[in-house]
Amino acid sequence: MKGFQQRELASVIEIDRRKCKGCDACKTFCPAGAITGKYGAVHSVDNEKCLFCGQCLVNCPFGAPQDTVDSVDAVIAKLKDSRATVVGVIAPAVRVAIGEEFGLEPGTLATEKLYGAMQQAGFKIFDNNFAADQCIMEEGSELIAKIRHFALGEPAHGHLLGPLPQFTSCCPAWVRHAELSYPDILPHLSSAKSPQQMAGALAKTYGANTVFRVSPENMYVVGVMPCTAKKFEASRPEFGSAALYWRKQGATGNYPDVDTVITTRDLARLLKKMNISLATAPGVADADNPLARYSGAGTIFGNTGGVMEAALRTAYFVITGRELATLEFTPVRGLKGVKEASVAMKDVKTGREIVLKVAVVHGIKENLAPVVAAVAAGTSPYHFIEVMNCPGGCVNGGGQPINPMGTSW
Ligand code: SF4
């Protein structure tokens, strides 16, 4: 983007040589073949290949891989700066994991206490589920236009943003993997940016102008994510659309949409440094601003299949004029970790029928290659494919609390 100066991170994960025993666990979980080193010798990360997903980090039994991007102290300094409006963008998978760091039963849904603890710390709340809802509308509309044109034979209205099948684009590790390993299929990725990046742009435009009523230059947007790859995503130089918007209105600011990202583990450390306990924080049911309201569709983004289901419900409703009753995935034989579903629908405008076929891939190391190969060969049976890097989706992301047994899966 012209005039936007941000430089993307060159590295997020490094292996601590003093802790590494050369056991190869990190290699086993790395989806990109980015770990080098012989069995028994100290390993290292090849940053040219690394997807920054942190799967090595949450699965190493010796705690050797480290997240090197630590902005906890910088966020605390902003929270203490009276000139700054610090907006925390909370991803859905954080609220079901953060409780573990404060002694709550693993899996406890702690949304209200999380709002309360973050408000105590000085954050304004932007629930990323709100942005996930926007993402569904964007991605679903794009899919509907492609289905109408390519599958139902209608004339194209406006500019079609790529061929079918459409891949999801909300997982930054998957996007980087596609860029590095499968550049030919990039036109198939949805043009919608991720909920985190939509949230940043919304916070510094609509949020700054209408909700928080502050200058976007005095806003500091913090992604609170289950994911180390989100740190890389926020640093990508193309994500400065709020500043571009304001420059078109005559302003001169030059800033990223999302200023920094902290993981679930980082947030727990931040709250503890500020002597705030999630366990005893007051429950806040309503964060009292429209950017913290959302539908049930936004919530399921954190699970494998959630993005697919949410977008498909939108597409089904627009094409048929009716709600989709149930969406049932079935395991695809021989491809563990790939799920597929078929949905028959009749176009309410033309009366034409279509059976929409969708697939969900999670854990790209074992499950992705045959699905992508079929798309590249033009033989894929699907119209829409969700890909999430981490096994199980973001709930099992590389920024989540580390399982004391040494593996997260
Ligand atoms: Fe991050 Fe979720 Fe992708 Fe894992 S699946 S890399 S947590 S966005």
3-class SS letters over 41-83: CCCEECCCCCCCCCHHHHHCCCCCEEECCCCHHHHHHHHCCCC
ipTM of the complex as predicted: 0.89
Classify residue 255: in a domain, yes or no: yes
pLDDT digits (tens, 9 = 90+) for 61-107: 999 999 999 999 999 999 999 999 999 999 999 999 999 999 998 88
Same domain, 155 and 173: yes
Q: Is the CB of 91 under 6 A from ligand 1?
A: no
Domain endpoint, select from 295, 324, 346: 295
- Give the model's pLDDT for residue 409: 38
Residue with tokens 């009716």: 322
Same domain, 86 and 188: no
Domain endpoint, select from 278, 295, 312: 295
- Give the model's pLDDT for residue 311: 78
Q: Which domain holds residue 45?
A: 13-67
pLDDT digits (tens, 9 = 90+) for 159-215: 677 999 999 999 999 999 999 999 999 999 999 999 999 999 999 999 999 999 999
Classify residue 7: in a domain, yes or no: no
Classify residue 6: in a domain, yes or no: no
Q: Please tell me the distance between residue 265's alpha carbon and the centre of ligand 1 in angstroms.
A: 15
Annotation says 190 is catalytic: yes
Q: Give nearest CA residue, ligand 1 atom 3.
A: 171
Q: Is the CB of 173 under 6 A from ligand 1?
A: yes
Same domain, 172 and 309: yes
Q: Is the CB of 226 under 6 A from ligand 1?
A: yes
Same domain, 258 and 386: no
CB under 8 A, 24+ apart: contacts of 336-342: 336/366, 336/367, 337/361, 337/362, 337/363, 337/366, 337/367, 337/391, 338/367, 338/371, 339/304, 339/305, 340/382
Residues in the chain where the model's pLDDT stays below 50: 1-3, 405-409
Classify residue 4: in a domain, yes or no: no
- Give the model's pLDDT for residue 229: 98
Domain endpoint, select from 270, 295, 320: 295
Give the chain's domain count. Answer: 3
